[in-house]
Amino acid sequence: MSRFIRKMSRRATVQALIALPALKLFGNQPAPANPGGIDPDEIVEIDGWILRRSDLA
């Protein structure tokens, strides 16, 4: 780790330190409902059928 920091430029180190407080903004984000970005409860209309997305599986 220390070797990695030694190899970073002074400028990059300062930028990383400035960014650190912002990291907590992402800490409370809920996990996505599904990794594929598809809501299984979404209502869809296909060929006249009114279905839940999950019905199409």
Partner 1 sequence: MIFDSYEAYKQAGFKPKACVLGSGPAGTTIARKLGAAGIPVVVLEAGSREFSDESQDFYRGKTVGDFYFDLDITRLRFMGGSSNHWAGWCRVLDKQDFEPKAWAPDTGWPISRADIEPYLPEVHDILELPDFRPDVPVSDDIRWVQLIKSPAVRFGEKFADELDKSGNIAVVLNTYATELTGDGKRVTGARLWSNGQDAGTFSADYFVTCTGGLENSRLLLWSNERSNGGVVPNAAALGRYWMEHPTFEGGNAILANYSEFEVDDSNEAFFSPTLAAMERLQIMNFGIRLIESPYPNVKKLIADLACTAPSMAEWMSSKLDQRLRCAAQLYVAWEQAPLASNQIELSKSDVDHAGVPRIELHWKKSPLERRTLLEGLRLFGTTMAQKNLGRVRIDDWISNGGDYPTNEETAGHHHMGGTRMGTDVLRSVVDANCKVHGMDNLYVGGSSVFCTSGQCNPTTTITALACRLGEHLVKVIAV
Q: Which stretch binds partner 1 (CB under 8 A): 2-10, 15-23, 27-35, 43-51?
A: 43-51
Residue 52 is a binding residue for partner 1 (CB under 8 A): yes
Are 39 and 30 within 8 A, CB to CB?
Answer: no
**31 binding partner 1? (CB under 8 A):** no
46 binds partner 1, rule: CB under 8 A: yes
Give the Cα-Cα-Cα angle 40, 46, 50 (nearest 5 degrees): 65
Q: Do residues 36 and 28 lie in contact, with contact meaning Cβ atoms separated by under 8 Å?
A: no
Residues in touch with partner 1 (CB under 8 A): 41, 43, 45-52, 55-57
